[in-house]
Structure 1
Amino acid sequence: MTSLKKVVGALTLTFIFALLVSACSGENTTGSNTINVVATTNFYGNIAEQIGGKHVTVTSIITDPEVDPHEYESNVTTGKLVAQAQLVLKNGGGYDEWMDKLLSASPNENRTVVTAYDVAPTKLEENEHVWYSPANMKAVANSIAEALKKLDSTNASAYDTNLKAVNTALGQIEQKMNSIKATYAGTPIGQTESIFSYQSNPMNLKVITPEQFQEAVAEGNDPPASVVATTNKQVTNKEIKVLVYNEQTVTPLTTKLQNEAKANAIPLVSVTETMPKDKDYQNWMLDQLNALESALKTATGK
């Protein structure tokens, strides 16, 4: 069965490649003069929309919070979009490797690719979720603006103006993080996985959940029994004040941990890996930080 699956997969890739080659003329699928932008995930696409405004047509491949970007499987439609894109935005760092395959299948020297992981100034070890850092997103936004100006120098001033607005809004996220840090630095919290470390670390929150537990959950593996026991004990003994969990990575272990936290009156804060459809990047992050601040206030009385 595995061999048959590999054969079918190879034939599918070959078929996609044939379609991509025929489609890679670089023509804009909208038939307008806007720049064709394709992003692997909606949060990068949203930043491109904010900077590009009416001068861009943005397609984000992953927009459903229920879809795990790690496990996404591309198709012919996605391949054609990438082949015709003038600007591609991807995370990199092993997060969206399927995009690398599509780019290789439709080589185009006129296409610009911005890889967030490569331009991000802050990277945590074995943690590719660089978009959770507003400082990293400022770097990504700057790279997107530069790419748009090279593709469309006529509207360079518009891109610069929009970039300033984006960076101002990203600054509001940093201000909220600084406010939380000023009041709650050193507060012990738990995390079901490390995606939130790009914010909990700068806020100086004391994450005591074992790294082995967080990494195993993020990778879809079972942590060692001793690590699970330690993590559960931190909750039952109320060693943590708040539990932050990724609602897109749900396992029996994380569900059990959430239930134990509820039973011990420990506030829960949910975060998501991809942006909800009804928000922009900045509001998404601010809403989560506001929820965290409220939970910390409830737990500490500060």
Structure 2
Amino acid sequence: MRSLPFLAALLVAVPLLTGTAARAEDKMTIVAAENFYGDLARQIGGSNVTVTSILANPDDDPHLFETSPSTARTIADAKIIIYNGADYDPWMDKLLSASTSKDRTTIIAADLIGKKSGDNPHLWYDPATLPAIAKTLTADLSKRDPANAAHYEANLKAFQTSLEAIDKEIADVKKTYAGTEVTATEPVFGYMAEALGLKMLNYDFQVALMNDAEPSATQVAAFENSLKDGSAKILFYNSQVTDEATTRLLDIAKQNKVTVIGVTETEPAGQTIQTWFGGQIDAVQKALVARTQ
């Protein structure tokens, strides 16, 4: 598999093109509900855009976020809005309905890949999501700023190329480890686990926990047994959300030598989409290698 140094070299080798440098007051204003969508916007728009990400602190639980007047003002001034949808960030719908604008473009990830309320809302881990947003954003920026259309297209190509390297890593894991059983406390990494060919156990438990519901005694027992009997080779957990149930499962996993991998709902500070995803996929690959040796 290609490692993180490879991905970093790829990004350095294909620098983003920014076109004619824009003055601060002339830059396109983009607001992203989540910081990974903000990172995408910066990679496509380069120095011709100003990007604000609302959910940006990797130490915060996104589910506890509350809007403020400053958040509303930030959205009101934006030319382009990017958010997840599928009930992940319902506060965005409320803010947008309170601040209408004829000249504003709204890009909703769920709409682009055909997801709806009730589906797993952690759409950024679906390999189809980021390319769809990038393509839509490029088209809108090119329409608004035709003088720099070629540069937005070049940035799109560079972004797509970097994701192709990650897709290759995903395919390599799937080729070798398809069907390997894993589990998770929440379905945060679900789309990526599916892309990797992994078989996810205890999904009903995960949905209950995600929705702040109490898993049934049967679901809890099945989850614990999958850790104790060796069925689950990896336990994924949301490292931004800690509670008594999660702590208990982590302890059981460690006692039974099940590899534990933390995943996040926010892009970690100092990383890019590419290094963030690449690091998590590398962690999965290393865990699977260790389990088969």
Q: What TM-score, normalized to structure 2?
A: 0.89
Q: 1:196 aligns with which of 189, 193, 208?
A: 189
Partner AA of 1:59 in structure 2 = T
Question: 2:132 and 2:161 mapped to 1: Cα distance?
Answer: 13
Question: 1:90 and 1:68 mapped to 2: Cα distance?
Answer: 17
1:249 aligns with 2:280: no
Show the counterpart of 1:265: 257
Show the counterpart of 1:221: 213
Partner AA of 1:100 in structure 2 = D
1:36 aligns with 2:29: yes
- Provide the identity percentage: 39
C-alpha displacement of 1:69: 2.7
Show the counterpart of 1:300: 292
C-alpha displacement of 1:134: 2.3
The alignment of Structure 1 onto Structure 2 pairs a total of residues equal to 271
Q: Contact 1:169–1:282 at 8 Å: present in 2 too?
A: yes
Show the counterpart of 1:97: 90
Which consecutive residues of structure 1, in runs of 5 or more, have no partner in the other structure? 1-29
Q: Contact 2:233–2:259 at 8 Å: present in 1 too?
A: yes
Task: Label 1:179 to 1:124 Cα distance change in 2 as closer, same or farther (>3 A).
Answer: farther
RMSD between superposed Cα atoms in Å: 1.6
Question: 2:288 and 2:110 mapped to 1: Cα distance?
Answer: 30
Task: Label 1:123 to 1:240 Cα distance change in 2 as closer, same or farther (>3 A).
Answer: farther
Task: Label 1:123 to 1:243 Cα distance change in 2 as closer, same or farther (>3 A).
Answer: farther
Show the counterpart of 1:109: 102
Partner AA of 1:120 in structure 2 = I
Q: Max radius of gyration: which structure?
A: 1
Question: 1:41 and 1:125 mapped to 2: Cα distance?
Answer: 20
Q: 1:171 aligns with which of 164, 168, 176?
A: 164
Show the counterpart of 1:156: 149
Question: 2:116 and 2:175 mapped to 1: Cα distance?
Answer: 23
- The 3-state SS of whatever aligns with 2:25 is coil
- The 3-state SS of whatever aligns with 1:201 is helix
Show the counterpart of 1:133: 126
Show the counterpart of 2:139: 146
Q: What TM-score, normalized to structure 1?
A: 0.86
Question: 1:201 and 1:103 mapped to 2: Cα distance?
Answer: 33
The superposition leaves residues 14-72 of structure 1 with CA deviations (integer Å, 9 ceiling, x where unpaired) of: xxxxxxxxxxxxxxxx9521101111010000000000000000000110123233331
- The 3-state SS of whatever aligns with 2:183 is strand
Q: Contact 1:134–1:171 at 8 Å: present in 2 too?
A: no
Q: Contact 1:217–1:249 at 8 Å: present in 2 too?
A: no
Question: 2:251 and 2:290 mapped to 1: Cα distance?
Answer: 18
